[in-house]
Amino acid sequence: IGLVFLSSDILGSHISVDVGMCRSHCGAPTTPSYEAGKQQYSKYSSMLDFLKSKKTRTRGPAASQSAGPLNHLPSCGVTQVCEPTGMRVDRLLLFEGPREVAVIEDCHCEIKLAQCIRVPGLRTYFSETPYETVIDVGGCSQSRGSPDGFSCVPTKFESALVETPNEVDLIQTVAACELKESCYRVRYVEYYYETVHHAEGVKEEKLKEIDVGRCLGSCTTGNRCLLRSPSDPEICHLWSERQSSSCVPQGYESHSFVNQYGQIRTILSITSCHCRN
């Protein structure tokens, strides 16, 4: 259980959602080795089908019958990490407007990889409706032996389409990961029309590509626990919502050009990011 206080709904009632939490004790069997996991995966046409099958098995009757008290559940080893098998995206109508909340459905023990790579991450949209869709939004591995202050973070993104009753939603997915500092710059390209005057008097209009950059990541914002267990202070019963990132641009670079109307246009691009105090 991982209760998170969000806000108030349109009637003024406080809304808390059990978004779940993966601990070191998991209900699913531990993966004996990375090679064994590869052998299991090879039976399926894609990683998406593989994870779907694991999710189905952990929800099956055999799994529910074999699950005993929490103390008897298998524990992830020192080379493993307890990760979500799949997540469900719920849409809530809050006082500030509609809000999406990712809820953990199942957890399993996953090998903690030594390298920083993209890993699958299943998310179910419009669960239990005719528009239910499962998308691999991806994620980044929790790599072992990373230098202090560095994390495996997404650096390249793609998009996936989800059909809804009213429109088509665009979902951002992780395409690639790299080892970066907690607050970092990523490439973000924008295109502009540029007019170029050549020496022979010929005027040419073309597209100008500028990497304006974006700042991603987060900075330490303190403890988010609102209510701890009286018997065990290590257990948190209620978490506050994760604070928005304070990773902001630090350095800029200007790009000037003549647009299609003959006007000089200047665009600023981010060159570096830092944690704002």
Amino acid, single-letter form, for residue 61: P
Specify whether 92 is located in the same domain as 200.
no
Dihedral of alpha carbons 261, 266, 269, 275, sign: negative
Residue 271: the pLDDT is 94
Range with the poorest average pLDDT among 50-64, 84-98, 118-132, 225-239: 50-64
Specify whether 150 is located in the same domain as 255.
no
Q: What is the band of 68 on the pLDDT scale with cuts at 50, 70, 90?
A: very low
CA 236 to chain centre: 23
Specify whether 251 is located in the same domain as 236.
no
Dihedral of alpha carbons 59, 126, 174, 225, sign: negative
Range with the poorest average pLDDT among 37-51, 145-159, 180-194: 37-51
Specify whether 105 is located in the same domain as 236.
yes
Specify whether 160 is located in the same domain as 45.
yes
CB-CB neighbours of 92 under 10 Å = 14
Structural domain range at position 76? 3-181+220-241
Q: Which contacts (CB < 8 Å, 24+ apart) does range 193-197 have?
A: 193/259, 193/260, 194/257, 194/258, 194/259, 194/260, 195/257, 195/258, 195/259, 195/260, 195/262, 196/258, 197/258
- Which one has a higher pLDDT value, 145 or 139? 139
Specify whether 99 is located in the same domain as 61.
yes
Specify whether 197 is located in the same domain as 227.
no
The rounded mean pLDDT for the chain is: 75
Percent of the chain at pLDDT > 90 equals: 19
Q: What is the band of 220 on the pLDDT scale with cuts at 50, 70, 90?
A: low
Residue 49: the pLDDT is 64
Specify whether 175 is located in the same domain as 187.
no
Specify whether 120 is located in the same domain as 190.
no
Residue 43: the pLDDT is 58
Burial 23-49 (b: 16+ CB within 10 A, else e): eeebbbebbeeeeeeeeeeeeeeeeee
Counted domains in the chain = 2
Joined together, the tokens standing for residue 274 give 């830092």
Q: What is the band of 33 on the pLDDT scale with cuts at 50, 70, 90?
A: very low
Amino acid, single-letter form, for residue 238: L
Pairing assessment for the beta strands 189-197 and 203-211 based on DSSP bridges: antiparallel
Residue 221: the pLDDT is 56
Given a cut of 60, whether residue 120 has pLDDT beyond it is yes
Identity of the highest mean pLDDT range in 2-11, 54-63, 73-82, 84-93: 84-93
How confident is the model over 236-256, as a mean pLDDT?
A: 76
C-alpha span between 45 and 47 (Å, rounded): 7
196 closest CA partner among 257, 240, 140, 242: 257
CB 129 within 8 A of CB 45: no
Specify whether 176 is located in the same domain as 189.
no
Range with the poorest average pLDDT among 44-58, 113-127, 206-220: 44-58
Q: What is the band of 67 on the pLDDT scale with cuts at 50, 70, 90?
A: very low
- Which one has a higher pLDDT value, 175 or 64? 175
Specify whether 246 is located in the same domain as 203.
yes
Residue 61: the pLDDT is 45
Specify whether 16 is located in the same domain as 90.
yes
